[in-house]
Amino acid sequence: MKKILLSVFAIALTFNLMATSVWDGSSEPWSQGDGTMNNPYLIETAAHLAYLAEKVNEGYQSSGQGVFEDEYFLLTDDLDLNNLDWTPIGNVNYSMNGFYFAGRFDGCYHQIENLRIQSNADLTGLFAAVGGEDHYVSNLSVSGTVISTGMGAAGVVGGIAAGALVYRCSFSGSVSVTNSGTFCGAAGVVAGVQDGRVVQCASSATVTVTNSNFMGAAVASGVVCFARESASIQGCYNTGAINASAVLMGISGGILAATVESAEVSIYSCYNVGQVSGGTSGGIFGMVSPIDPTKGENAINVSNCFFLTSAGGNNGYGTGMTSDEMKTEQFKNQLDQSSHAFVMDNGSNNGYPIHGLASFILYDASDITPHSAKLSAWIHQGNDHFARAYFKYLKWDENEWIEVDVPTDGYVEAVLEGLEEDTYYEYMFACEFDDGTWIESGQPRAFQTGYDAVEENGSSTGSVTLTVYPNPASEVLNIQGFDPIEVQVFNALGQLVKTLKNANEINVSDWAEGLYVLRLTAADGRVCQEKITVKK
């Protein structure tokens, strides 16, 4: 194998160097990003976040209920909402009618403080609702006060549905719901889950629910209030006090309070040390709702979950332990199960395990030329520690990975040089912990190097560097390094199918899938060719 030359460097991101953005009640459009994974919209101020709420609630450019579908957002700084009345992001009701956030919001481990909500909406929180497969709110700490007379309230998200995810989010402060209807509930992190996941989230909030209806139910929990259809809660914990008060039925649970209608729920590797009280209470899970015979039986699976015995709620779900037992390394390891979700307390959680929060983001390859490409990632060590971080890559027809070590925190890049032209490469990113275990980026990603094009007439002007990207393409094809006055497009049979003039951007959205050859002619007579693939 020929020698590969590598140029590796790291640039530390200057997160947290800006002053916290304090909200004055106004909204302002963001100005950075295009909503793609590699170039997300940047939420740099509290006014930008308010603008997001404004746009979602009006159904901005949406043909359905989901707004900003599949688009990416990144919070770049801590925000202070200044105890001003906050309008939640989304305005759906309990039946998920209305508009909801359908994008991907990464809080980048920043804090949003002094949230204040007073609402009578069915669902309320910083986000009222998030919906859609793999749409999420992640890596965010929120603190403040939520007061509701509606059906469901939480500090972070009112409700998630249709495959949505809340990941590594926390809430501190208080959530209270007072209602006289048939049902009302509250939680620290997410009020309701209908076919969704809540992973590695935490609450230290005081949660109080009161229902004055003689036939009504009050439901309260630290992490998730109620679940219906399919729900998964993993690696979460609660330390706040939970109380549900009702004439007929008060239900409280440290991690999940209740299932609603027919539900299949999994709770795994969670713990609760917060006091739970109500007519029916559980240290981990409160109560299965009455079974609707037309919708099948409820299924609740609780495994590797633990609660503080003195906090109450010993109803058979989870294992009761003493405070001393729950502050040991042995307990942390039992809870963690080698997932690196938990580490020992650093003094912020009264000795109980906290989330390690070590993670990374792998970006798409960029700056691709015929013989080089740049790989980049962002690493967050959190409360844990990475001993090693590296990219690895290979040619698509080989099986030996080449590893490139980079620093273990912040923004890192590796420039791969000496690559073969017009060749597919696969790449991944991995981080190793001190104990030798590691996490990887999942399925390999791929890029194709450019074509080192040479003039067909072989004149002495030499070669030109031509890059056509993305390749494969589905929407727009870009030509870089060559300015054609004419582009001829040939199909796989060699037939001329299109002729374009002065085109450095080519719309291929209406082209049939398959292989094409572009013949590019410059004003001075130079001619280059490039193979491209259109894939929808």
Residues 65-80 pLDDT 10s: 999 999 999 999 999 9
The predicted pLDDT at position 490 comes to 78
Task: For residues 442 and 479, state if they share a domain.
Answer: no
In a domain, 321, yes or no: no
Q: Is the distance from CB of 284 to CB of 272 less than 8 angstroms?
A: yes
Task: For residues 488 and 435, state if they share a domain.
Answer: no
State which of 417, 449, 481 marks the end of a domain: 449
Task: For residues 388 and 501, state if they share a domain.
Answer: no
DSSP state, residue 263: E
Q: Which of the pair, 282 or 295, is modelled with greater confidence?
A: 282
Task: For residues 171 and 267, state if they share a domain.
Answer: yes
- In tens, the pLDDT along 464-499 reads 567 888 888 889 998 888 888 889 887 765 667 888
Give the integer Cα–Cα distance in Å for 231 and 191: 12
Show the tokens assigned to 427.
Answer: 């790449």
Tell whether the model's pLDDT for residue 401 goes beyond 60: yes
- In tens, the pLDDT along 311-332 reads 999 998 999 999 999 999 999 9
Task: For residues 431 and 493, state if they share a domain.
Answer: no
Rg from Cα positions in the chain: 27
Give the integer Cα–Cα distance in Å for 464 and 485: 16
Please state the rounded mean pLDDT for residues 132-158. 97
Task: Give the pLDDT band (50/70/90) at residue 10.
Answer: very low
Give the integer Cα–Cα distance in Å for 344 and 341: 11
pTM of the full predicted structure?
0.78
Task: For residues 61 and 180, state if they share a domain.
Answer: yes
For 76, counting Cβ atoms within 10 Å of its Cβ (0-12 exposed, 13-18 middle, 19+ buried), the class is buried
Sheet holding 476-480, edge to edge: 467-469, 476-480, 505-507
| Core vs surface per residue 219-228: b (16+ CB within 10 A) or e | bbbbbbbbbb
Give the integer Cα–Cα distance in Å for 73 and 82: 22
Average pLDDT of the chain to the nearest whole number = 88
Instruction: Tell me which residue of 346, 375, 347, 371 sits closest to 362, measured CA to CA.
Output: 375
Task: Give the pLDDT band (50/70/90) at residue 360.
Answer: confident
Q: Which of 55-59, 79-83, 214-218, 231-235 has the lowest mean pLDDT?
A: 214-218
Task: For residues 488 and 401, state if they share a domain.
Answer: no
CATH number for the domain spanning 151: value is 2.160.20.110
Task: For residues 287 and 436, state if they share a domain.
Answer: no
Domains in the chain, number: 3
Please state the rounded mean pLDDT for residues 402-430. 93
In a domain, 336, yes or no: no
Task: For residues 139 and 265, state if they share a domain.
Answer: yes
Q: Which of the pair, 353 or 247, is modelled with greater confidence?
A: 353
Task: For residues 266 and 375, state if they share a domain.
Answer: no
User: Percent of the chain scored above 70 by pLDDT?
Assistant: 91
The predicted pLDDT at position 154 comes to 99
The predicted pLDDT at position 298 comes to 66
In a domain, 461, yes or no: no
Tell whether the model's pLDDT for residue 82 goes beyond 80: yes
In a domain, 331, yes or no: no
In a domain, 462, yes or no: no
Give the integer Cα–Cα distance in Å for 270 and 523: 67
- Amino acid code (one letter) for 338: S
In a domain, 305, yes or no: no
CATH number for the domain spanning 376: value is 2.60.40.10
In a domain, 498, yes or no: yes
Task: For residues 479 and 419, state if they share a domain.
Answer: no
Tell whether the model's pLDDT for residue 335 goes beyond 90: yes
The predicted pLDDT at position 354 comes to 97
Tell whether the model's pLDDT for residue 395 goes beyond 80: yes
State which of 449, 477, 512 marks the end of a domain: 449
Give the integer Cα–Cα distance in Å for 493 and 378: 44
Q: Which of 75-89, 98-112, 485-499 has the lowest mean pLDDT?
A: 485-499
User: Percent of the chain scored above 90 by pLDDT?
Assistant: 59
Instruction: Tell me which residue of 102, 11, 40 sits closest to 412, measured CA to CA.
Output: 11
The predicted pLDDT at position 6 comes to 35
- In tens, the pLDDT along 181-208 reads 888 999 999 999 999 999 999 999 999 9
The predicted pLDDT at position 176 comes to 98
- Can you say how many angstroms the Cα of residue 255 is from the centroid of all Cα atoms in its chain? 21
- In tens, the pLDDT along 243-292 reads 999 988 899 999 999 998 778 899 999 999 999 999 899 999 998 765 44
State which of 449, 478, 509 marks the end of a domain: 449
Domain with 512, as residue range(s), is 468-534
Tell whether the model's pLDDT for residue 305 goes beyond 50: yes
CATH number for the domain spanning 484: value is 2.60.40.3080
Tell whether the model's pLDDT for residue 210 goes beyond 70: yes
Tell whether the model's pLDDT for residue 522 goes beyond 90: no
- In tens, the pLDDT along 160-170 reads 999 999 999 99
Task: For residues 117 and 249, state if they share a domain.
Answer: yes
Task: Give the pLDDT band (50/70/90) at residue 405.
Answer: very high
In a domain, 56, yes or no: yes
